Every structure is written in C-alpha cells, then in structure tokens.
Amino acid sequence: MKIDRLVGERFKEKPSDCVVDSHALMIRGGYMKGVANGIYSSYMPLKRITQKIENIIREEMNAIDGQEVQFPVVMPASIWKETGRYDSIGSELLRFTDRNDIPMVLGMTHEEAAVQLVRDCAGTYTKYPFMIYQIQTKFRDEARPRAGLIRVREFTMKDAYSFHTSQEDLDRYYKVCYDAYNRIFARAGVPEVITVQSDSGIFGGNVSHEYMLLTPIGEDTLAICDSCDYSANMEAAQSIVENKCEGEDRPLELVSTPGIHTIEDICNFLHTPLEESCKAVIYQKNADDSFVVVFIRGDLDVNETKLTNYLGEAVHPGEVTDGCGLYAGFTGPYGLDTEKFTVLYDKSLEGTHNLSCGANQPEHHYTGLKISRDIGDVEYIELAKIKEGGICPKCGKHTIKLSRGIEVGNIFQLGTKYTKSMGMQFLDSEGNLQYPIMGCYGIGVGRLAASVCEAHHDDYGPIWPMSIAPWHVEICCLRADDDECRGVSDKLYEDMKADRMEVIYDDRNIRPGAMFSDADLLGIPVRVIVSPRNLGEGVCEVVTRDKQINEKVPLSEVIDFVKKIIKDRLDELNG
C-alpha cells in the first residue's frame, strides 16, 4: 500500500470535540470518522488493527475449544421477554417494531440468543461442556457516548457463552478463560491490563471480573491494594470501616442551624469531624418514585450499585419537594416517619455515638445521636463506597488506592438465570433434568484498539505494538524527485511485498517534516528512511516508532534486519 492511496487523510489540528488522546489521534490519523453521536466509520488502518485484534481473540478462543458462531444483530423482542430483560433494561436497549409491527431489539449482548441457539441441542450431559462465541456488531443506545471508541453506541464485540453441568466445571472453565484473556491482552500489547472483581449488573450471576487498563482517562474507578493483590471495581469493592465510639455518650440535643444545609457545614459549625456525623442521602425508586433514605457516616459516599442490588430495583437521586415529609438538608434518623419511607443504615454507623444529624424540621439539627439508644435496633447494611486509604478487604491494611481504568473485557459466572428462564434443560448422568450453568466472556474490539493507543502513544501519534499495527514497516522515500533515492525505495518496497511483508510506502514528493508527521500518526513500528545522504554511505536508517532502535543498516541487509525486528517483537508479544 502506498500512503498517497490511503483514503483517510491525516491532519495536524486537534479536533475540538476530542477529550482523550486516543480519540484525537485516531481522528487526526485517518483511522475513523464520526457518522452520528457515538457511531463511527473506520478507514483502512483501523480496520486492519481491529482485524488483527479479532484474529488474536479468535485464536485464543479456538484454543480453549470455543466454537465460532454468529447471532443476529436484530432479534425478536420475544426472546428478551422470556428472560425479563426486555422490561428490566432501560433505554440503552434499542427497541423498535418491524414492518409487521413485531417488536424487535438491536443486540447489545447475546445471552438470550446464545440460549436460543443451543437449547434444543444439548439435552444430555454428554454434550457438555461447550463454549460458543461470536465477533459481531452490537448496539447500545448510550446516553452519553464519549472519548471516541472508548464509549460508543455501535461497537464490535467478541462475546462468548459457556455451558456446564456443574458449578465445579464452570469454575474450572472460568479459570481457563481468565488465563486466555490475559494472553489476549498480552498479545495485543497491553500486558499491564489487570483484573478486578466486579459487579455483575444486568447480566445477573455472582462471580465476575473486569479486565482493566489503568489510565487517568478511564471511566471506572478501581480500588487496588498497595500491599496485597486485592483489586476490585469501585462498585464491587467491599467497604470496611472502623467505627469509633470513644468518650462518654452525650445526650440528644436539638440545635438551631439556620442556613446550614450540608453535612460539611454542620460539622464546621459544630467544630466536629465528619466521622461524627450521620449524613442522609435521598433516592427515589424508579418504579413508583417512593423515597429511599440512606443514612451513612458523613465522610463516606453511597455505592449506588450496592444499593440497587440490595433493593432489587433501580433508583435515582431523590427530588425533595414541599410536603413530601422530608426536609432537604435537615433529614435525620430521629423522628423520621419510617412507615412512609424506606430507611436504610450503612454499616459505618454501627456502634457509633455522639453524631450530628438532621432534625426533620427546617433549620435544625441534632447533636449527640446514638442510634441504638435513640432509634433502637436497626439493621446495618454495607452500602458505602470504598475510600482512598481505606481498609483492604483482603489484607486488612489501610492500603487502598483508587485508580481510574478502562474496562477492556469482562468475564461473568451467570449461573442458571438464562437457562432457567428460557427453559433449557439436560438429563444428568442419573437421568434427572437439570438447568445448565453458564458463563459469559466479553471483549470490545474497538475499545481495546483505543485502549492500546491510550496506553502506547506520544504527542505525535500512536505507537502500535507489532501484533496489531496496521502495517509492520513503513518506507519513507525522503527525496522522491531523486532518481537513486526513488529507485532504492521502489526496489525495497517491491522486494518487501514479494516477501509478503506488511509494508506501507510513502513516496510522496513532500518535505521530510510532513512525511515524518504522517508516519508518527500512522504509528508503524519500524521505519526505513531512504535519503540521498544515507545512500552516499550505502545505508538506510532503520528506526522504530518507540525509539528503541535507530541504526544505519547497509542496503543489502535492510530487509533481514527489519524482518528480525518484526519477528523478535511478535515473539515477545506472543510469549
């Protein structure tokens, strides 16, 4: 391929709507173009990158006995109604009707389709275990697409589904898949991807892990222990709190607090630490807008995923209106109408005393609250978010660090949620009917490409790992108007093509600076620079995009030299 034939063009200016580097570089580098909010077309370089990623994934899935299949993008709503997800998933599931007014959905995930495909042909235990997977376009109608390929509405995903006759067998295979995922990320050039425990969310099931690339631009917050190997998604991380109850109990006392509406303000006003306050966080249930009041220690925040999981239904931030019985900024446990509201207490309040809190009347707070004395026996539930410097649930030290990360893959143990609701059964070895146990395993292909770019780039462009680079080597003919320079470059290009090397050739008659800018944006791992000055010495310059190699190589040795770099780097990535 010659660069001047590439349809996508490269340019210098950073597009104003790009908030992350990978997005800006992939727009500037002629990798992709926006078609609608969160929907992109890919030019050839990105298509080649994603195909290489897909092939790595395919090889690793086949190596663990995956059978590649294909589910439809457009599915009948009926199978989503079988599992209840047609109603339980929000507007990110795109629903429409076809020309015959049959309700349909666009596939954002394919658990239903997977069970539909196999439920009639795995009726006996001898067919198990098996894993099917596809690499296919998906659509998720995100409210806020952002950051280029990191969060889009239409995306290509590898999704795999395994079926087992026992939890033990799923556990075994889950570990196999866990390792395969680590190999995939290592081969794609991001061995630094870590796994964290996660919440299973809309997929159901219990055990699940996310594969995270740590980066400040990540959308997820992770709790990682500095001292042991504990790591978890913020949403899944257990929050352990040491509750202090020092000194004498003070009595409950009503205090006039005109104009004070936040827990920080009341603590400042009283000269007490946040840890000695009881904050109210108010939600409303999506279903009926009834209020949920969560009481939590003033220095902590509510983990809404834990709250949703506990309630078994979705909530949104509460809107306190006149006459609803709650007073914004003055809500507290004492005197609150527990018949009218769902009232929950976080574990951070268990065994504490001398708390300040709202008084359920305008412009007043209480001090000296002791829940066990003033309210009585209440249930304490874990609803708090883990904090920076918090206690590691595994090693018990105050060593939790919070980091940002991009989720590049995830694996879930689904249990029998889908097989039960869709009536998939098998006869076990003793002739009893059972529901198979499922696992599911996803990787977003485009997001992985963008994540690799995010992890490996400089100010001038991506630094693609050899395994997924659109081409392995680029020839830069610095003086296309010089006969010898062009002759040598042309011959190198033809020889490399004849050798089936993945080569791209820049033979445009442009300034070296412009040529190198374009080369940086394409991020090809190896660059061969042919210039009259070098030819005077009988050499070419061979440099790598990551600057680790920069050598003058005799003309006759260039191809072997480049091939060795390519082979070494591929070997290194493939372990």
Q: Which is nearer to its own copies, 55 or 399 (CB)?
A: 55
Query: Site for its own copies (CB under 8 A): which residue of 47, 364, 401, 456?
Result: 47
**By CB under 8 A, which span of 60-68, 199-207, 484-492, 539-547 interacts with its own copies?**
60-68
Query: Site for its own copies (CB under 8 A): which residue of 69, 228, 324, 573?
Result: 69
Q: Residue 163, exposed/middle/buried by CB under 10 A (0-12, 13-18, 19+)?
A: buried
| Residues from 195 through 254 that contact its own copies (CB under 8 A) | none
> Which residues have C-beta within 8 Å of that of residue 473, sequence separation ≥ 6?
496, 501, 502, 503, 504, 524, 525, 526, 527, 528, 562, 566
**By CB under 8 A, which span of 46-54, 353-361, 378-386, 520-528 interacts with its own copies?**
46-54
Instruction: State whether the Cα torsion 555-556-557-563 is positive or negative.
Output: positive
Q: Which is nearer to its own copies, 132 or 453 (CB)?
A: 132
**Beta strand 526-530 with 473-477: parallel, antiparallel or unpaired?**
parallel
Give the count of residues interacting with its own copies (CB under 8 A): 62
Query: Site for its own copies (CB under 8 A): which residue of 24, 26, 115, 132?
Result: 132
φ, ψ for residue 368 (rounded to 5)? 80, 20
Query: Site for its own copies (CB under 8 A): which residue of 25, 122, 222, 294?
Result: 122
The 293-332 site mask, x for binding its own copies (CB under 8 A), equals: ----------------------------------------
**Beta strand 342-346 with 291-297: parallel, antiparallel or unpaired?**
parallel
Q: What is d(CA 308, CA 487) in angstroms, rounded to the nearest whole number?
A: 68
Long-range contact set of residues 95-104: C-beta below 8 Å, sequence gap at least 24: 102/76, 102/77, 103/76, 103/77, 103/78, 104/74, 104/75, 104/76, 104/77
**Beta strand 130-139 with 66-68: parallel, antiparallel or unpaired?**
parallel
Alpha helices in 358-482 (DSSP H): 371-374, 417-421, 445-455
Q: What is d(CA 285, CA 301) in angstroms, rounded to the nearest whole number?
A: 19
φ, ψ for residue 277 (rounded to 5)? -130, 160
Does 494 interact with its own copies (rule: CB under 8 A)?
no
Q: How far is the CB of 5 from its own copies (least distance, A)?
A: 7
Q: Which is nearer to its own copies, 91 or 556 (CB)?
A: 91
Q: How far is the CB of 48 from its own copies (least distance, A)?
A: 8
Cα angle 193-197-200, degrees, rounded to a multiple of 5? 115
Query: Site for its own copies (CB under 8 A): which residue of 72, 389, 396, 532?
Result: 72
**By CB under 8 A, which span of 100-108, 233-241, 426-434, 474-482 interacts with its own copies?**
100-108
Q: Which is nearer to its own copies, 76 or 201 (CB)?
A: 76
List interacting residues with its own copies (CB under 8 A): 4-9, 30, 33, 35-37, 39-44, 47-48, 50-51, 65, 67-76, 78-79, 91-92, 94, 96, 98-99, 102, 104, 106, 113, 116-118, 120-122, 126-127, 130, 132, 134, 136-137, 139, 141, 143, 153-154
